Structure 1
Amino acid sequence: MTTLGRVGLAILTAATLATSACATSTAPSAQSDAPAATGTVTLVTHSSFQLPENVLADFTKQTGLAVRTVELGDGGELATKLSLTPGNPPGDVAFGVDNTYAARPVRAGVFDEYVSPAAANGARDYALAGMPQLTAVDFGDVCVNIDTRFFKDKNLPEPVTYQDLAKPEYRGLTVVQNPETASPGMAFLAGTVATLGDGWQDYWRALRTNDVAVTPNWTTAYSTDFSGSSGRGPKPIVVSYASSPAAEVGKDGAAPPTKALLDTCFRQVEYAGVLRGTKNPDGARKLIDFLLSPAAQATIPDAMYVYPVTRGVPLPEAWAKYAPVPPKPATLPADRLADERDGWVRQWRQLMGR
């Protein structure tokens, strides 16, 4: 992701539905004191993948393997395209399949089983039940964000919960993303299902009555419509990320004018896995191990605007202060997401008159 687009800004443009263009690149081999690369490991990933070149160069220095990347669109496209070619992969290892899409490629036989020894230091806490093929690398939380200045200026209490957004005093103030075309929109929908249970449909009816705005992607919602971003739009409530406020800290270190509502969060975890049929399984495993190393994990917040899974990795100062990890985000089993997601979206479309 770039620094403020997961925050166009660096919030992952996993937040928006990317085009299906495919791109490739090769990380430079390590600096002059490093041995020349003796081979290549191909990483298949999404369009928001971003690690510093010097970090990938360190991997080359340690292993003699250069990293070549192949991008397959956003996280949903990545999962879908990998699922079409099980056993005949476009690379050696994949990164960026998240828990909302994970069951699809796992069921298709895309991955070989591999549990990294480094997973014991935190990644195992995010393992998906019955899916030893996938290793967690990072996580983020999709949450409602608010423009705190608006509520102070209007002398209006800040909303706290999902249900608050449907109250009359917040009529016309909220913008969300279409779950058909934007991953944060899908996560927000899943969060309402997880939190409200059978009442999620009534909730969306109430949101529609309360004049909720729906955009096709995260960028439009956050960077154009949200009043708390540089776009200074008309809506003081937006679906974004728990990490978004850290990107709004002033250049002088001033507190951001936004905050995430931690009772409205749904957790997304990104995974890596060895692709079945790879010609370099050893290199694939080494790259997964490396992605869990403290050195690589420490770069993840600033590079991709998500949280590291390895224990003991410090967050940047602004994150620790303004983007704390939500203590109790909503979650759903990956199998349920795979089985019911399309049905939820169809019902959502009907409820919203689309």
Structure 2
Amino acid sequence: MNNSLLNLTLAIPTYNGAPRLPQVLEALRHQINPEKIRWEVIIIDNNSSDETAQVIKDYQRNWPEDFPLTYYFEGQQGLAFARERAIQEANGTYVAFLDDDNIPAPDWIAAAHEFGKTHPKSGAFSGQIHGEFEVEPPENFKKIAAFLAIREHGSKPFLFDPDNLRLPPGAGLVVRKQAWRDAVPKTPKVVGNQGDALARGDDYAPLLYLHKSGWEIWYNPAMHINHQIPHWRLERDYLLSLAQACGLATCQLRMINARTREKPAILVRTILGNLRRMVKHRLKYGDKLKQELIPAFEMEFYRGSLMSSMVWLNQERSRKIENDKKK
């Protein structure tokens, strides 16, 4: 196959995904391809300690030649680093990301290819992500479903709103490879440990850089994925840690496209806005925050968002110290 003619690279970053990858690969093996789209599948093994490499080796023995299956090992831990490695290794014009628990519909590749072809100003686009739950979600789960990358925005395409952090998740995202290479820093900034917690800004940060470079971010309702949600991802401890992690990235994300003169106002709004939300939430729910999971999740997100202002200030202070040392 002439790699220069590839339309699309399907990239699957995975960490200890040996139990999950077979179902994703089977769904890819049976994709409907009426236009004879030229595509490939690449696995980015993000420092797994299980049998991921062997699973891929077994599949490669009987994998269709029409769309090659290639394995890469990325030892630097973190989803943002795995996605950056995928961008570097991809041969396609577009790179479509699936997590190792995302099961695409049979026409997902075809729908992605068609949308990219008809929307030349799109730097990235995403579709519908439906939850497939191992256990029944908690009451009022829909209020926080987006935090678990479940997105069902209806049947009409629309532009996302990056300026207000209304963006799709990284799971199921299709990006224009050259746009990413030109716009997104190779060393992710909103990722990794923030003190003792993990900030979860690695989905939105690349999209904000694409937006800053003038690219559009679209919703394509014709693309469908089932996102498998195991029981432990609906447990209280996991959900509250997720809420805080997402909150911790808020201020840094808002600063990506901010002018220098706008940053003090963003910092003040982040602090005052989240303090106000926390007070109103406490007054509304009181002691129920100890029993009701969804209100507790929302409070933890507000608390994380408030803390994100301190995280950003610490990062700025560290950056200034490093710059002073270089002078």
Report the TM-score when normalising by structure 2.
0.30
More helix by share: 2
Higher RCO (CA 8 Å, separation ≥ 6 residues): 1
Report the TM-score when normalising by structure 1.
0.28
